[in-house]
Amino acid sequence: MRRSQLFVKTRYQEPADETSKGAQLLIRAGFIHKEMAGVYSYLPFGKQVLANIASVIREEMNKIGGQEVDMSILQNKELWEASDRWDDTKVDNWFKSKLVNGTEVGLGFSHEEPIVNMLRGFTSSHKDFPIYIYQIQTKFRNELRARSGVMRGREFLMKDLYSFSRNQKEHDDFYEKVTQAYMKIYNRLGLGDITYKTFASGGVFSKYSHEFQTLSHVGEDTIYLSKAKKLAINKEVYSDEVLQHLGLKKEDLVDEKAVEVGNIFSLGTKYSDALKLFYTDDNGQRQSIIMGCYGIGVSRLMGLLAEHFADDKGLVWPANVAPFDVYLARLGDSSQVVKEAGELYKRLTQAGTLVLYDDRDASAGEKFADADLIGLPYRLVVSDKTIENKMYELKKRSSAKPEQLNAESLIKALAKPKQS
């Protein structure tokens, strides 16, 4: 993409109405636009980052048998009354509205009820199960207070997976598979080293649920973690009894601030029973379905990545999620520089490299500052100097020193690595 054609502009100063470093950088670099407290629009770069995170998640969900759908956001009140979750005293963060005829509808904060109801129309035999369905869509939650920019919004992008198993073992096996898949996702996003499977409140369905907590000073949660065992306990369930149950010693744990980047729940048969989703076993008997739900906050991850992968000059995106691979800075506007940079842009693009071509009539300093702020993995310079040397200048965002490359090695260096 040519920078001159992009409507988004970067900002020199921090926005006054954000205090989170990550949100400030995302706004300054033109990834997001704040509509109101806890509500953000995603601009071209931000939309691409979300798509890249989603694509990592999608690949791992598909690998464990997930089938992707896109459920409606408008919710049918009757389904939620069946499970007694429509009442504002039961779920206090509903956004609700009304049809012209007065019928109440909700904006989805989660999708257990509608997805169970939908499945009733397609399943009846034990041969139909297990089933794993997920979606990546916008959720609405009427939080009392939005916070930390895009990390805790009222409207946010979330991946939610629902599992439907015939018995406890089948459920437990899949639950473990999801745990593995989640760790793969955090690894691929560069957060694996600081993300911990964490024991948290299980609600009424099981003893624990599991959260995935990434260590960060902007975290809203406190966890007690064992680095050796790669496990943690959320403060909300931390007690001697829990420690004993998990075989952990108090003195081996340290407390840290962390961000909840995922949460997996065993739901038992509560929603499947309430909405009458059953199956017939091989003896012709009606049986309950055991459910699980598994969430990952996609937009929250973007906020966390911006917070974590940054330095004093701006963002430093991991290659997997960066909106482009390389920032091509054309310095000066001599006809040979314009020609050379234009041709390089074309050539790299044809080779599959995603290039953000800064073809504006701006100073070198401004282009370098923008390249640092936006934080693409590489910065490539074409100038009279590089043409004179018959070399290109390539610099990693994460490193201070540039290297000089000829055209062939440049194209090779920027070729996309194969993703696992």
Partner RNA sequence: CGGAGCGUGGCGCAGCUUGGUAGCGCGCAUCGUUCGGGACGAUGAGGUCGCCGGUUCAAAUCCGGCCGCUCCGACCA
- Please report whether residue 217 would count as binding RNA according to CB under 7 A: no
- Please report whether residue 194 would count as binding RNA according to CB under 7 A: no
- Please report whether residue 175 would count as binding RNA according to CB under 7 A: no
At residue 135, the 3 state secondary structure works out as strand
- Map the footprint of RNA across residues 78-97, applying CB under 7 A: 91-93
Question: Binding residue for RNA (CB under 7 A) from 113, 340, 358, 370?
Answer: 370
- Please report whether residue 67 would count as binding RNA according to CB under 7 A: no
CB of residue 281 vs RNA: minimum separation in angstroms? 28
Angle at which helices 335-350 and 407-414 pack, to 10 degrees?
A: 40
Angle at CA 155, nearest 5°, toward 152 and 161? Answer: 90
Distance CA 81, CA 182 (A): 32
Distance CA 414, CA 420 (A): 18
- Please report whether residue 332 would count as binding RNA according to CB under 7 A: yes
- Please report whether residue 137 would count as binding RNA according to CB under 7 A: no
- Map the footprint of RNA across residues 241-300, applying CB under 7 A: 263, 265, 293, 295
- Map the footprint of RNA across residues 19-38, applying CB under 7 A: 19-20, 28, 34, 36-38
In the shown chain, the binding pattern of residues 100 to 119 toward RNA, with x for contact by CB under 7 A and - for none, equals ---------xx---------
Question: Binding residue for RNA (CB under 7 A) from 119, 232, 253, 373?
Answer: 373
CB of residue 348 vs RNA: minimum separation in angstroms? 17
Q: Give alpha helix (H) positions in 215-334.
A: 240-246, 270-274, 298-308
Angle at CA 51, nearest 5°, toward 180 and 136? Answer: 60
- Of the candidates 32, 112, 121, the one whose C-alpha atom is nearest the C-alpha of residue 300 is 32
Contacts of 356 (CB under 8 A, 6+ apart): 1, 3, 323, 324, 326, 327, 328, 374, 376
Instruction: For RNA, give the closer residue by CB, 123 or 328.
Output: 328
CB of residue 280 vs RNA: minimum separation in angstroms? 29
Question: Binding residue for RNA (CB under 7 A) from 146, 181, 248, 258?
Answer: 146
Question: Binding residue for RNA (CB under 7 A) from 99, 100, 102, 145?
Answer: 145
Distance CA 312, CA 307 (A): 11
CB of residue 350 vs RNA: minimum separation in angstroms? 24
Enclosing H/E stretch for 174: helix 168-188
In the shown chain, the binding pattern of residues 384 to 403 toward RNA, with x for contact by CB under 7 A and - for none, equals xxx------x-x------x-
Angle at CA 39, nearest 5°, toward 35 and 44? Answer: 70
8 A C-beta contact, residue 229 and residue 239: no
Question: Using CB under 7 A as the criterion, which residues of the chain lie in contact with RNA when the complex forms?
Answer: 9-20, 28, 34, 36-38, 91-93, 109-110, 141, 143-148, 152, 160, 203, 220, 263, 265, 293, 295, 313, 331-333, 363-366, 368-373, 381, 383-386, 393, 395, 402
